[in-house]
Amino acid sequence: MVTGILTAAIPALGYLFALLLGEPFVLVTALGGVIALVGVAVASTARDASRRREPAATVARRGPRRGPSAPG
């Protein structure tokens, strides 16, 4: 998941490095970099949302999860 987030940041980082090396500022390209950074933010928060815990009521009805190493 981290590699996907870093891949999404490549356009913004590329434009930042181009500016640091002397390329002229272009508004449309800057907006593209901002959109890429918004995508990075969305991807990183979506990763956290997928790790949410189940509600306690669901666990209480079903019982605790038993992994393959848990005794019968």
State how far the Cα of 5 lies from the Cα of 16, in Å rounded to an integer: 17
Please name which of 69, 16, 12 lies closest in space to residue 38, comparing C-alpha atoms: 12
Contact 37, 15 (CB under 8 A): no
Mean model confidence pLDDT for the chain:
77
pLDDT for 20 equals 94
> Can you tell me the mean pLDDT for 20-33?
92
Higher pLDDT, 10 or 51: 10
Contact 12, 33 (CB under 8 A): yes
- pLDDT of residue 32 exceeding 80, the answer is yes
pLDDT digits (tens, 9 = 90+) for 35-70: 988 988 888 887 555 566 656 666 556 666 666 665
Q: In the numeric block, which tokens belong to residue 9?
A: 């940041």
pTM attached to this predicted model: 0.55
